[in-house]
Amino acid sequence: MIIQTNRLILRPFVKTDIEWYHDVAQHPDIKKWLCGLATSDKSINQEHVNIFSEGNDKDDFYYVITNKENEPLGFIIAIRISRYTVDVSYFLKEESRHQGYMHEALEALVPKMREKNYLYRFRMQIDIDNKVETVMMLLLSDDELKKY
């Protein structure tokens, strides 16, 4: 399933996403916050991309976030960790940050998670020093999550 917003396209991972994924996997932020999802070993990153590309057929969401020109800006992953709890991880390339892209992506993804009828508890790990990220989560809580 492809999800479109005003500025973004959220599309499922495909196995050929390895090149850009391996590049972003080298960023220190991804290693700090998403440990285990990114390594300097391309073969392990390929295994992750393979899992991501098959995950949307199950209960999880693995999306590449692109602009309208289909240039990858980052990714968002929502994994069901219990019956009604979803764990969300994401990463945006540095040049794509602080433009509201992740808020826009989450606003589009939350209703899709609700359609699968398993979103009751939304768990997200944020960097408290990242004021934009903290505000984004608060805004999402007020605007989107309270609709349900």
pLDDT greater than 90 at residue 34: no
Over residues 81-103, the pLDDT tens digits come to: 777 777 788 888 889 988 989 88
Span 41-60, average pLDDT: 85
Distance CA 105, CA 66 (A): 10
The length of the chain is 148
Beta-carbon contacts of residue 40 (< 8 Å; ≥ 6 apart)? 25, 26
Residue of 32 and 28 predicted with greater confidence: 28
Distance CA 37, CA 67 (A): 23
